[in-house]
Amino acid sequence: MVFIMSLFITFEGTEGSGKTTQIQRLARFLTDRGQEVVLTREPGGCTISDAIRAILLDNAHREMDENAELLLYAAARAQHVAQVLRPALAAGKTVLCDRFTDATLAYQGWGRKLPLERIRALNAMATGGLTPDITLLLDLPVEKGLKRALSRIASSSGPREDRFERERLEFHSEVQRGYRSLASDEPGRFRLIDADRSPEEVERQIEQCVLQSLESRPHAL
Ligand code: TMP
């Protein structure tokens, strides 16, 4: 059996790309191999960041200024890194995080057109330089993903966290362009996953990617 040391893995993708299902499946896969796994998400992951999440995603907050939005993501991240991510990694756990710094570059940078340099500076402040070992980018046509996300929201009874899903299609296409550009700039960290397949096929691609990444990091085996 493969013994895996502490790893920081992030999941990214446009709306409805299936991240939530897949992150849970990977958590089970790694736990079955003896790994202690922490499953978390951004924005959120702890009390303060969950409160910021509620402000960010509330569809009633349509008037939110885009710099206010950016700063709230950075604030939520700083708290999450300090309170959850760093302690878990220091304790030798593997952390699976649903979205991280790349989401801010893709959504606030490519989507909202805020300067990428400003976002990189805030990301660096919020993370203190903490970078994922592997980033799995779940890629599928934006129209398909949005359809999935909107029908999930329509059938959910929870709080209305759909401020982003309600953005126009061009916004989501720009976010996708951003993600693809980030992935091609950092091929060592990113793995592009074809998410336009059955959940089981996507799951197998992800498991293979994670195992391959581990094989190329001999100290982690
Ligand atoms: P989720 O739907 O994957 O939980 O993500 C919440 C929303 O927040 C999603 O629409 C993407 C958006 N988001 C940003 O715009 N910037 C960020 O930095 C993060 C982490 C998420």
pLDDT single digits (tens) 90-121: 999 999 999 999 999 999 999 999 999 999 99
Which atom of ligand 1 is found nearest the CA of 163? 10
Pocket probe mutation, ligand 1, options 22, 69, 107, 163, max atoms within 8 Å of Cβ: 107
Measured from the CB, is residue 40 less than 6 Å from ligand 1?
A: no
172-190 residue pLDDT tens: 999 999 999 999 999 999 9
Q: Give me the pLDDT at residue 206, please.
A: 98
Q: Give me the pLDDT at residue 156, please.
A: 81
Helix (H) or strand (E) holding 114: none
Could you tell me where the DSSP H helices lie in 81-198? 86-90, 101-104, 116-127, 142-154, 169-185
Measured from the CB, is residue 42 less than 6 Å from ligand 1?
A: yes
Pocket probe mutation, ligand 1, options 150, 164, 175, max atoms within 8 Å of Cβ: 164
% residues pLDDT > 70 (the chain): 95
- Kindly state the average pLDDT of the residues 211-219: 72
Ligand 1: distance of its center to the CA of 71 in Å? 13
Q: Which residue has the tokens 């398909």?
A: 144
Measured from the CB, is residue 107 less than 6 Å from ligand 1?
A: yes
Residue 217's pLDDT band, with cuts at 50, 70 and 90, is low
How far CA 148 is from CA of 95, 104, 126, 175, in Å, comes to 27, 22, 31, 17
What is the rounded CA–CA span in Å between residue 201 and residue 197? 6
pLDDT score of 14 more than 70: yes
Helix (H) or strand (E) holding 113: none
129-143 residue pLDDT tens: 999 999 999 999 999
Contacts of 122 (CB under 8 A, 6+ apart): 70, 71, 74, 104
- Kindly state the average pLDDT of the residues 5-13: 92
Ligand 1: distance of its center to the CA of 43 in Å? 6
pLDDT score of 221 more than 70: no
CB 172 within 8 A of CB 15: yes
Q: Give me the pLDDT at residue 72, please.
A: 98
What is the rounded CA–CA span in Å between residue 207 and residue 200? 11
DSSP state, residue 101: H
The CATH topology of domain 7-215 is Rossmann fold (3.40.50)
The number of CA neighbours under 13 Å toward the Cβ of 22 is 33
Helix (H) or strand (E) holding 95: strand 94-98
Ligand 1: distance of its center to the CA of 93 in Å? 24
What is the rounded CA–CA span in Å between residue 92 and residue 32? 16
The residue whose CA has the least distance to atom 15 of ligand 1 is 107
What is the rounded CA–CA span in Å between residue 107 and residue 175? 5
Token pair for 72? 């709230």
Q: Give me the pLDDT at residue 60, please.
A: 92
Which atom of ligand 1 is found nearest the CA of 165? 10
% residues pLDDT > 90 (the chain): 81
